[in-house]
Structure 1
């Protein structure tokens, strides 16, 4: 008989965006040394997701295990634009080291960082062989960003063969359904609806449902879901950017949400694209003035 998975609830909380709950319920007895390292990785990744980068940088010292060092590198990369170059340099150095380069957490962090850099081929170089459900789920995300839904579907099928009911399998299925669109949107909505009935409502679940609603033209329902998400975290980048889009469709003012997004997430793709569009418009105006 298989031993109980002591980290199941912790992982699940993290995957569904219940980061504070993951942190609060991380004091799990009788963990093996390997499980204790994995537990700590999820706790520190939860802090990163909550924006507490400096806490992670301060608490993980040079004697910590390699998976934790990889998480610290992710915190460094995300903490400030000034730290990105040195974080990527260290990452490449570690990946080239045959003794540690194949550690799943390091490969996962590499995939996340290079995906942030929009260097998808470099990300896949380290994640494509999979090996863990998180790596397969990250591959699905990367392929969706590359508009290669057929490759994302292959990764999803691998996940379904391993565990069809796994939270990450269900999430990956919903992401792919959203990317494919059409009749698949309803299927994605039902996955998020199922999560909202089984687990406590998180910003991730609310945003998932809201995006499905927007695709289906139900902007009023989407807005109420996003406002509920905003109550949970007033600085969440996805909630704010989705609210901007939703309000545009409802002919409601977007200034407040846009201002919040620019202040709290100046590096967000939505902000950068808007800035590029404003610059292009300004140049066009100047050319005909």
Structure 2
């Protein structure tokens, strides 16, 4: 576990660290999220008051609107790994999908330091700006590889797609970079021209990871990346993620319902239930001494 190395990706003053943040001191956040909210349907004036963990429901009794997540706030530092844990429907995947622009927000702000030095709410950027942020500053690894990969392209072609979107156009350079990334993610380079459809589930996830880190983004989202994989394959994928994180100093947000994944990968954890954060803190602390009744339940089910 890499607790304590929260700033291994932070740049020294004046220089640019692996996270690409010039002059960012140790206390400079990479991502600052405030009051992030997503509601499906028409909310009423009391929708947020009448939903949440204390009601064990995220459905508004007045309007039937669904509060996928509400008033989620946190900071993420360069090189830090933040876990978001909770049962199905807790809102954890919604948070990363909002931050990766797969969904539009109902309310809230997200500042990403490398984008306009964290002065502008990226959730309100233009479509063109959002594409630029996604292509240069973020990577996403989805639970289902079909959401992150084009199964009609070769594995190398999938990586090339990410590189081309960020403005790399030299074919030889792209192939070389794709080969390097496959090697880094433990996929035989001879499979560069094979499609992901011919790969096992674990290999498909590794191609997704290779694509997601192709442009050395400072921020990577991982959404339930081991769900549906065999236990031995899960372990290899998690080892790979941990090695890449340590080597590249990349900040990550790891979403999982599985506390053993959270324990292995993360420095800090947010616990979500019914769309709200019910507890947050250092991962070790949360696992050893959970404060909220729901977290206690999650931890005791792991033991």
**TM-score greater than 0.5 by the shorter chain:** no
Higher helix share: 1
Higher relative contact order (CA 8 A, sep 6+): 2
TM-score under structure 1 normalisation? 0.32
TM-score under structure 2 normalisation? 0.31
